Amino acid sequence: MPIKYDAIISGLGPAGSAAAYELASKGLKVLAIDKAKFPRYKACGGSVSKKVDKILKFDFSDVVEDTTNGAVFSYKSKRHLFVQHDSPIASMVMRDRFDNLLVNMAKKAGADIIDNTKIMGVKDDVQNIVVETEKGSFQARVLIAADGASSSIAREFFDIDSKACSVTIESEVTAPKERLEQIKGRLMIDFGNIPYGYAWIFPKKDCFSVGIAGVNSKLSKGIKEYFAEFVRTQDMLKGLEIKNQRGWTIPEFFGNKKRISNKRILLVGDAAHLADPFIGEGIYYAIRSGQIAADAVINGIYNDDFRAYEADIEKEIYPELTAAQKLADMVYLHPKAWYSMLESEPLLIKRYYDVVIGKSNYKEFVREIMENSRIKVLCMIIKGWLKGSLSNCKLKIGN
């Protein structure tokens, strides 16, 4: 007979671990399963926005490798622009250590953890969820699917296409201390080297995280080619060995075009395609959606009703990601024009930092942009360049 839990969680990234921690902390019987053995390496830039500090209920400073107060922006590796904020905007982490901390916190809260174990199948038998694994069968009232952008559960139960994504490649580049000191406390972000995306160099304790990301459908060549071209333009990377390049995908934001829950299955994080369409940041939305899912389970477990989850996601997260999508369309469709405007008005970058730290939000930021007189002129210029695109421009950047 399968072992009975209140909730089973598939996947122990930030979304799954956050959900497990919240549920176990409230006394529910929770099982979390992951196919990897922890700690495990996770390809990722490793920039954790400071607004994460406001939602995590425990300290993670022991795994922070650098704290950034600003960023050096560039366009096609030239025209460098450094803008600093009054307070830290992000923490740099290695995902193996960060994710392992989250798993351990869930375990300390009382969650049962099974890693290095594949889920072979999921069955919704109306009254319960049955999860078949290499180590046996487990039964629960509800399943929280946190199995990433290529989620098999999202495909099987919600018909979500994992190919709707941006593609990313990254390398952790070991560097001497004097080079690391050059960008300590700051990010490097470049626009224009890849269609509908950006490249980066992030500081870590002993290395640079170097990567590039772009929307898969808009690339005219392989992501590795864009990555190699970007690396060749960076003086601080000259002579360093670029090895162990790893790729991953950032899911496209669907909004309410796709369901992310049914009676007994809730999708969270990348499995629900809850990633920032502008910068691809997924850690905050993974953690927050895991917490929202946990609240829905805690409040609905006794009457067997978890419908509050999707309604709460639509209320809190969808408006933000919808506004971020508008910003992404504005910036990435015309990166050169937008970069020129940022050079003339760097204050806009500081206002964006307020979004990153949670002092403001995307809706307010996009509204401020649309009220900016220079942006109105720029939009008129773009409309002039693209004859017949007036209605399209209004569609993308209107209310």
In whole angstroms, what is the distance from residue 48 CA to residue 357 CA? 10
How much is the pTM? 0.92
pLDDT at 367: 87
> For residue 268, what are the CA distances in angstroms to 2, 194, 210, 309, 340?
25, 29, 27, 10, 37
Residue 256 DSSP label? G
Between CA 173 and CA 207 the distance in angstroms is: 5
pLDDT of 216 reads: 86
Taking CA atoms, 303 is separated from 16, 48, 123, 155, 300, in Å, by: 23, 36, 21, 28, 6
Q: How many CB atoms lie within 10 A of CB 377?
A: 11
d(CA 189, CA 72) in angstroms, rounded, equals 6
Quote the pLDDT of residue 325: 93
Q: Residue 376: how many CB atoms within 10 A of its CB?
A: 12
Mean pLDDT, 10 residues at a time, over the chain (399 residues)?
86 98 97 96 92 95 95 94 94 96 98 96 90 94 95 93 88 92 93 93 93 90 94 93 90 92 96 94 96 97 92 96 92 87 88 94 89 64 45 40
- What is the per-residue pLDDT for 124? 87
Please tell me the predicted confidence (pLDDT) of residue 345. Answer: 86
User: In the chain, what are the domains?
Assistant: 3-46+94-162+254-316 (3.50.50.60), 165-251 (3.30.9.10), 323-397 (no CATH)
Backbone angles phi, psi at 8, to 5 degrees: -115, 140
- Helices (H), ranges, the chain: 14-25, 95-109, 152-158, 177-182, 223-232, 283-300, 308-316, 318-333, 335-344, 347-356, 362-370, 373-385, 390-397
Burial of residue 355 (CB within 10 Å: 0-12, 13-18, 19+) is buried
Dihedral sign for Cα 98, 43, 73, 336, please: negative
Distance, in Å, from the CA atom of 50 to the CA atom of 53, rounded to the nearest integer, reads 6
What pLDDT was estimated at residue 385?
45
Task: Provide the 8-state DSSP code for 54.
Answer: G
pLDDT of residue 126: 79
Looking only at the bridges linking them, the beta strands covering 265-267 and 136-145 are parallel
What per-residue confidence (pLDDT) applies to 312?
97
